[in-house]
Structure 1
């Protein structure tokens, strides 16, 4: 009984800890999207996708509404999306996406994380030719013919369709984000996540030991409040 209680409490605390880190990042993504393209999701595909991603993570509606409202407030005026390039051991390349109202603080934190965990921050744009900017959507696997769906989505900018155990991944050029978002809606697909991502043009394979070493750096980056996403060339 005691051990079961401790397990349940530890499990609940782990979920709370995850939400305490995840919800602020989701909220910031919503605020940035609303600031960039307006607060109407019907007219702003990036905001529509950010909201769908937040809902898929069970973020409360009040939090979502507050994040949208924050975009029109003076507090959001200085929030900017900034990318940082870096490298780590074993040929690992890293692009860090941040949303911040204080670039001086953010670059100092990101640089410190790299330096303390065997990495090195690079001049901005150093990895621009190593990665491609893509529109990436994750949807629930629909009933019906996937080949027919693929043909339909090509008209909206689809480049690649991949199926995993419980999701369908949709890839297109970053310029097709809006049209792909519309296509997903018109094809009645259930959106789980949608964002612009950096996809490596070539990947590397690491041993378990090497991966364990690199994961320390990646975990520290993920834990930073200003970091929205971390992209690597790891297979």
Structure 2
């Protein structure tokens, strides 16, 4: 009697494992080589073991499209960051080139050139009436060339005073201060606090005496309100 033939049956699990391995190899090869075909597990109707073949070109196009989208987002973010930095620099440059009043809120006091027994000569600056302790700010960027009591060398009538050198041989002076917050040689920016208002020196009450000069010294003052208006300051 002939031996009885036996038939081996493979489980669906074994077939699926083999199919998965083939798919993985096929896809890896398509992505690395950029050619050929990749296998995709797409069962057809009536058969759980049928494999379909997907074009490696279609997979490559999808990957390239995703990479392009990511790169576009990265480029947009970089461009936005660069533009933000450019805008910030423009704003900083505009502020540095601008002029401001030496105090934010004030009442206009004694005017430039005013005569009277309060001064040995006509009034050499413009008074801004403010309470004692009001922050005094640099009207423009520059370098401090004078700072101290006794008018910082311009005479005791000024009390505590500061002189800042600006571009184009222009200087600004701030007098009768109760406090000085800068030192000689220090660079300051437009709007930076340099001291506090007061009533030191020859003063009848708290206020800021402000001058625009053509030199750092007393006797070279020009009309400060006109100067500020000519430089775009609304007073």
Whether the TM-score (by the shorter chain) exceeds 0.5 is no
TM class by smaller structure: under 0.3
Query: TM-score w.r.t. structure 1 length?
Result: 0.24
Q: TM-score scaled to structure 2, two decimals? A: 0.24
**Which protein shows a greater Rg?**
2
Higher-RCO chain (CA-CA 8 Å, sequence separation at least 6): 1
**Larger helix share, 1 or 2:** 1
